[in-house]
Amino acid sequence: TFILEGSRQVPKIMLAKRKTVGIRVPDHNICIELVKNLENPIISTTAASPEGEIFNDPSFIEEHFKNSITLVIDGGPVPGEPSSVISLIGDEPEVLREGLGDLDRV
């Protein structure tokens, strides 16, 4: 996930309080194919309960949010480890969180 400065062209709903936006580059075939076919970025979030429990299995997501969502695409369980977060705000990239993703090229 790359943190960049927001601009007036970024919808307010996507900006954090600090006027930054996180761009995640997924390593998941369904997400990649959706972006390719739509020819646009997609917005997503981590599926979590109000208590902070992260759902990484589509069946749990469907069960917990069944009255709030109309569709779950079951691509199988996703890794439980969060992605690496890299800030590109300053002059040099800064690793804010080490997680999934190759950091050797940062």
Q: Tell me what pLDDT residue 88 has.
A: 92
Domain boundaries, the chain: 1-46+82-101, 50-81
Instruction: State the burial class of residue 8 (Cβ atoms within 10 Å of its Cβ: 0-12, 13-18, 19+).
Output: exposed
23, 62, 72, 47 alpha-carbon torsion, rounded to 10°? 0
pLDDT tens column, 24-51: 888 888 889 999 999 988 877 777 777 8
Whole-number Å distance between alpha carbons of 13 and 76: 29
* Element containing residue 31 per DSSP (H, E): helix 29-38
In the three-class reduction of DSSP (H, G, I as helix; E, B as strand; rest coil), residue 32 is classed as helix
Tell me the pTM.
0.66
pLDDT tens column, 54-95: 888 888 888 888 888 888 888 888 777 778 899 999 899 999
